[in-house]
Structure formats: structure tokens, C-alpha cells
A and B are shown apart, each in its own frame.
Chain A
């Protein structure tokens, strides 16, 4: 159990850290709201159009098990590589390269039947050996995949024939199918995957000009519905303003994740553009060290949560965008419910709770604050809010590296700010060894049982309980959920708006005539 949870932790935090260079988090999410942007614009479109996409996340390399990062997920997931299952933009898991699958009664053996007629870009037909190879590439010793440990329950993989894969588990794992949606199926014979590719997706790699752009070309031999555009070019930017200028001058058609709230005014109320307010899974946390006084007291944590006006904070940073959630679960996770009323904003209640906890005359603590946006701004806001209930905050600004060592590794902190980007990551509260030290044996047990559930409903029910409990305990203060904003030219339709887990399916994007 521990190893499993730690793995998920790693999965999410690595994204948070990877983002430190670029400002703030986009990424991970599973869409609740429907599907795709530019709905309705189904008129005539150019089937041979080139879609110019602007992004802040360039791949490090082209292999997602060798540290390719968020950028390669964005460009390649579902576009160049496909998995046995696909996570749709609204957060559902559906079959892709697996035609169907069965689960044994004890829940320990999964049998997948592969779709027939699927070919890699090199021309080789897909076989079960490729699937085995691909899963083992993720779980293998050299793998840097963030999903590595979530798949560590896999005991063995057999290939009884070319179209059948049998996976045996060491313990039940209701999330297996979901986790397999992150495993790219790669040709087992392919070489130099850090600079080339051999997948089964609707696009092949054209050219990758490092530091600048990456081109995808429609694959004529694709097994499924061909892409609704001929070519996709990802243009990479390091500066959000430069990215917005590119959109304003029509050098790009769509921005995968808008990170500059101030720039949105240029695109709102402008008929040439559509601003899509999607759902992200990036949560901004004021994480307490629940092991240490005074934050070992539930009442103190509740008091702090009730002292901070999250609504005001969110609107000062993102204007009308973003969501208040009141817990760790974003609306796109199946076990979401609105818990914003559990610890409402109420400074008088906070003062009462503090007095009851024995801190009526207040106290002071140090808030370790990562030095990149939005954390320093948020820290200042927290400081002024808590001053009103008699709590003094000392802001200690640290780098991402220091955060990793001081807070994450050595747990040498009282409270900290951090963004947690992944979906389905409430399970971390089941791990008492995690950096925030929340230790509720009942929650740990529920998280364990949830993973062992026989049905998705069973899992959902248990994780809802977990969510309610951590909110009641104010395990952390979940300040807000980031918005996921996709800005696109109004000539585009069919693009994803939730950008769940950083992916950006391009094969359904349609560009209407006019500008080519």
C-alpha cells in the first residue's frame, strides 16, 4: 500500500516540480464538463488544414519513460502513440487498442484482446509482444515514468497468442485500466525513441526542431477514423507574452494552456477568438505539517482554513476563472463533491476555534513559499488574512530545489504552499509517511480498500468518505483549483478544453476555410 501511494505522490509532484521553471501549473486534469471547444462550428472545414498550436511545454525528449516530461505527453499522447485505453477529455476511460478485456473472479488476472488491423507507423502490425514490451518499458529499472510505481502491482505479463495479453497482479487494483491509459504502446523493435517514434496513432512525427517547434503529419495507414486535419505544428514558447502575441498575430491558432490571466482581456469579447474555461486538476494547497504543534490539532487547522477568504484570493489572481473546491478532489474525479461549506470563511468562527484549541492569543509560524508564481502573492495574502485572527506568518521564500529537500524529504517545515497537479490524487492522504504527515488510520484503510474494490462504484463510495473525512479534519487547506484555459481562433473547433493530464488530442481539430 505504501509503495503504491508513494508512487502516485511522485507522479503528481514531479509535474509540479517540472513546472517550476515555467511559472505555474497547467496540466493534469480530467474533464468534467463536456468534450471539446468551439462546439457547433461544424460547418465546412478544410480536411487538409495545418493546425498551429502554441504551447509553453516543449518536450525534453520524445520518450515518456526517459524523462520526456509534460511536453511529450501533450504532443504525443493519443496523437502519435496510443494506449490500450484512452482517457477522454471529460475524464472517462474507454477502450482504444484493447478491443475488450475480462477480469478474473479474484480480480488478479486481466485478459486483454487487442484490436486487429492495427499497424505501427513503420508498417509492422501490432502484436501482444509489443504490449508486453511497452508495459515493461514503463515498469522496468531504467524507467523514469511517473506511472512506474502505480503499475508495480503487475506480477507478470503473458502473451498466449498475438492478439491476447494476460496481466497477473500481486494484489487487486481497480485503477489498473485507468493506469494503462498512460502506457504508450510502442513497437518492441523500435530504436532511438528519444528522437524518433514508432506508434500506432493518427499522426507520425514530422520534424522536431528543438527549442522551437514539433510537427505531426497525418498517418495514411491509420486503423481508425483519420485526423480531420493534415498537419499539426506545436510551437514552443518560454514567455507567456510572446505566446499571446503569436495568437494575436495569428501565428498560432490555439494556446493549449493560458498561464497569463492578464492577457485574457485581449481575447474576451473579441469575435476572432474563443476563450474556453475548462476544468483543471491543479490544486493550490496550504499544506500544514500535521505532525507538529500547533498543526497537530484539528481545531487549529480548521481555524486557519476558516480565516482565509479563498474566494477573494482566487478572484485577485484569476479574476472570474478557477473553482473553489474545499477539498483535494477536483470536479473531474468520479468521487468529487462540493465540500466548500465544511470549513466556511468565517473569521469569528476561526477565533472561537483558536480559543478552544488553547491559542486564543494567537501564535506565529513560518510559511515555506516556493519562489515562483503564484506562491509569493498567495503567501502575502495568507499572511494578511491570518493577522486578522491574531496569527503571525513569517514568509520564507525558497527555490523548488530547497522545497524538495527541506519540505518534501526532511519534513522540516511548519506549513508550505504547493500546487498538486494530478487527477485522482486524494489517495495521498492515505499515506501517513507523506510530507504533510496526515495520519488517520481510518482514512488509510479506506484508501486501501478503495483500490481493492470490485467495482468502480465501490471505489467511488470509499474515496468519497476519504474526501469528507480529510475535509472535516482540515488535513490541509485547499485554497483553490486552477482554471484550465484554452484560447483558440474562432475558426477552430473540436479541440480539447480540459487538457487532462497535459494531453492535447489534435486529431479532431477542424479548421474552417479562410485563413489557411
Chain B
């Protein structure tokens, strides 16, 4: 069984009159030591088969889907969906997930090989079909890991925004979905909306020939998941106001609006499935200011299986009022680091938005500042991507937008703006 540990990093000391509490919660799940009894899992591979996938991309998408099929563990239930303005099950030949065997893998790859492109793009409908297949499977295998891969190369054109939103909320909580955009014609915001709702990731795949390796890696990661549907359960005091709950590592994800009430003072935030991995959360609570010396529990964080209520790990977020400014003004380094990471992501997204809106002054200011933070915080990959969009004079620090920017670089910068780096070195270690 997977073991979870939960650690809270914070400076619990608050100055008199203050009630803003910030904490970074680090959750680590250790993978199973041996694969004694693999957990039940299901995988659906959704491949964009719209007309724009053309000859090259559809060929690489076929190879990628086949690589994913090859990576499935024996016994994992699976299906392949081809997405156009409609959704079609490519494999199996009926609306049900089938277990992976040498025979079923072979048959699935044959079916994928016959995949052709043509038609529009309607991702909400693809996902809804996947949700229905997973729901049927869920009845026989409650508590199983349910994961989907969605690949697209284009805009969600054949589905109006309200229908898309309705389809997405229909899928929420039914499975985890990692999204991949290939080429330069897809919209980062659309895939981000899907991945946020379905607790997955978004990555840009610049060259179609890179899809195969990525699909294999993604499927391997999905096969490594051991616990489905874990929730972060947060209790806060009656007089407190919860400011936010955000995942801050490995990528930024605001969970504040995803709360499910457990009781008056407690709510659950979904975190999806876990394998051997580590994630960090930034929680901010505002409590009524107390007297010097008083200590308060400003939050009780538990990692739970909501179905059974089983608590996997827990920790306290504390507040203690102090009249010693040396104590109360110190910012916890981990809180500072992830506050900086959130600022960096906002600057990049605002900067790119301003650039597209033609507000070049704002774009230059935001992206220039982002470049400085990226370098200081150790976001090397982000710094390199920023260099392709903005030029900063190393002597003066003056920023200037580059005139010719590869669209793929802009997409990569936008997509990866939410990915964070961990602290360079842990000052407490």
C-alpha cells in the first residue's frame, strides 16, 4: 500500500493585529515497494482525427496511440476514441472498456492503424463519451484508477462554449485527463480548462514525431498510479475565512473553487490519483487576530479517501501571535518561493495576453519582470523560453520585445507558465 506523508512549512508567528496565515503543505506518496497486487485501472486514449490532423500528424498520432497501447499493463481496461465534430469508439467494437491482453492490444493497434482524418473538433463530446465508458466500468470496479489521454491539434470549433462547459462539468470527478497539444493551431486556454477540471496536465508537443515517446511516458506514469480519488480535506476555525487553496507543485492549479462541503467548517478539494510522487499546496487562511502568546490552529489539513473517510496523512497549520518582530516578520522560505512562482506565472500570462492585445508597454514590463524572477528562482526552462519572446539587456536590465517570435515558442511559454520548480536548496535541510 502507498504510504503518504504530509508536512507543513510556515512561519506560525504573526504580528499583533494580523491574521493572515500562509502555509506550504508538502504531500509525498511513496510508491509500492513491489508490485504485489497491481491496482485496478482503466485508460482511454482520445486522438484528434479532425481534418487538420492531415497526413503527417495523424500518422504520428497513430504511432503514439499504439505506443500507449503497448505500455498498458495486462488487465488494464482500455478503449481508443477518435475525435472529430463527433466522438467515435475506434476500439473495441462496442461501447465498453476491455482488458489489455496480447490479443486485445494487437486488435486495438490494427484499429488505430486504420484511423483517418476528416471532420471538425468538438472536445467536450469526446470527453463525454469517455466519461460514459468510465462510469460503466466504475460500476464493476469501484475505486479503480481512471485516466485518459487527449490529443488535439486544433481549436474547439464545432462546439459552443456553453455546451463545452456543460460537457466538462459532466466529466468532472469521473476521471483524470492529461492533455497534449500538437503543432501551433490549438488554444492553450482550452486545454488548460480541460486539464484543470479533470486534474491533469497540459503539454505542448512541438513536433509530431515527439508524440510517440510522450504517449509512452504518459501511459507509464498513469500505470504507476496506485490510489484513486484522493482529497485534501481542510478544516478551518469558525471565525476564519479561507483565502485560497492552490496546488503549487509540480504545476499551479487553483483548487479554491473546487470545494465540496463536508461539514460547516470542513471542505474537500480533489487531487485525483496518486502514484509515487510529491506535490505541494499553498493554503492561505485569514483568522481573527489574537493576543500575544495565544496559539491557534488556523487549519487542519488531512489527506483522505472521501469514499471511506480514511485519513492517509495530516498536519496542522498554526498561528501564534508575537510581539517580537524578528519572529513575526520572517517569511518562510518555501512560502516565499511559491509566492514567487505564482507571480511568475501571472506575469507571463498577463504579458502574453497584453502582447496579443497590442499593449506592448504592459507586455514588455510583465515579461521583462518575469525574466528576472525566472532567473532568480531557478526556472531555467522558463527563462530560456522567455528569451525567445523578450530580450533583456544584462547590463541595464531594460527589456525589449522580440519582433519575430515563433508561434511554437509562444505556445510553449504559455503552456509551461504554470509549471513550477522546487526550491533550489532547502534551507531547513
Do A and B come from the same complex?
no
Q: Which A residues have a C-beta under 8 Å from some C-beta of B?
A: none
